[in-house]
Structure 1
């Protein structure tokens, strides 16, 4: 029986994945609600598929995917997240995911995604055809691509009103490191004011 490991800090989401998994003949090998425990568990637990959210306590889902691949994990990895923006899809694929599903409107595709990924196929949303003219939103997507995964994570925390000291604690880094991340973000995005950066993050659904 194929085994699925679930990484999500929302109990309702965990339950939904469990129900779909067991209802389709899979075994749930384990669950956890943060990146650190996920990495520790998956070093000893056998899993054919890992279902992981992006917004989990550190390390976040994108970092978990990258570390799993760096450590030689050869099973399938499916991202299940509230995000549905293309830049998150691209980051998940680059990190090493085999599929991506938005919790907002695609949970009915979960069983199909399980089958596809465990049979060696990818399961990503179809990329929308670009418009003939470059829109401001497309330009902002290009700006977002300049940020590292950690910088995107820090930007999201800042946009949600988190204090730098609290962000540092969550990421297990120093306050100085978070300040450095913030300066890099503002420099890459071309902003001189924190409010501009926050509004940018909210427009791009990072908050």
Structure 2
């Protein structure tokens, strides 16, 4: 029986994945709500598939995927998140994910995604839809591609109204590091005001 591990800080999402998994003959070997515990568990326990959200307590989903692949994790990785924007899909794929599903009305695809990834196929239906919607590269998408995963994460926190000191605590780094990230973000985006940056983030569904 194939084994699935769930990483999501929303209990309802965890339950939904578990119900679909067990209903389709898979064994759920565990779950957690943050990146640190996920890495600890997966370094000493077997899972054929990891279902992971992007917005989880540090390290975030993209960082977990990157570290798992660097550690040689051979199983499938399926991202299940509220985001469905092209830049998140592409970043997840680049990090090493085998599939991507948006929580927004796409939970019915879970069973198909499990089957595809377990059999060695990629599952990125949202990427195809995003490609159709953005046949021509948009300037703001090009700007987003300049940001690192950590900068993208910091930008999201700022846009949601978090203070720099609170962001530093969440990411386990110094206040100075967060200030540096903020300056780099504004430089890369060509912006001089925090409000501009926040509005940019909201337009691109980062908040």
TM-score by length of 2: 0.96
**Partner of 1:164 in structure 2?**
164
Q: Deviations over 1:41-71 (max 9, x none)?
A: 0011100000000000000000000000000
Q: Deviations over 1:129-186 (max 9, x none)?
A: 366766xxx1101100000000000000000000000000000000000000000000
**Partner of 2:179 in structure 1?**
179
**Partner of 1:64 in structure 2?**
64
**Partner of 2:132 in structure 1?**
129
- SS of the residue aligned with 2:123? coil
Q: Tell me: CA distance 1:90–1:133, structure 2 relative to 1, closer, same or farther (3 Å).
A: closer
**Partner of 1:84 in structure 2?**
84
**Counterpart mapping for 1:1-16 below 5 A:** 1-16=1-16
**Partner of 1:113 in structure 2?**
113
**Partner of 1:198 in structure 2?**
198
Quote the RMSD (CA, aligned, Å). Answer: 1.1
Q: Deviations over 1:104-141 (max 9, x none)?
A: 0210000000000010000002142366766xxx1101
- SS of the residue aligned with 1:128? helix
Q: Tell me: CA distance 1:196–1:32, structure 2 relative to 1, closer, same or farther (3 Å).
A: same
Q: Tell me: CA distance 1:96–1:11, structure 2 relative to 1, closer, same or farther (3 Å).
A: same
Q: Tell me: CA distance 1:141–1:174, structure 2 relative to 1, closer, same or farther (3 Å).
A: same
- SS of the residue aligned with 1:29? strand
**Counterpart mapping for 1:39-54 below 5 A:** 39-54=39-54
**Partner of 1:28 in structure 2?**
28
Listed as ranges, the gaps of 5+ residues in structure 1 are none
- SS of the residue aligned with 1:170? helix
Count how many residue pairs are aligned between Structure 1 and Structure 2: 204
Listed as ranges, the gaps of 5+ residues in structure 2 are none
Q: Deviations over 1:71-107 (max 9, x none)?
A: 0101000000000000000000000000000000210
Q: Counterparts of 1:162 and 1:56 in 2: how far apart (Å)?
A: 16
Q: CA deviation at 1:15?
A: 0.1
- SS of the residue aligned with 1:100? strand
Q: Counterparts of 1:54 and 1:60 in 2: how far apart (Å)?
A: 6
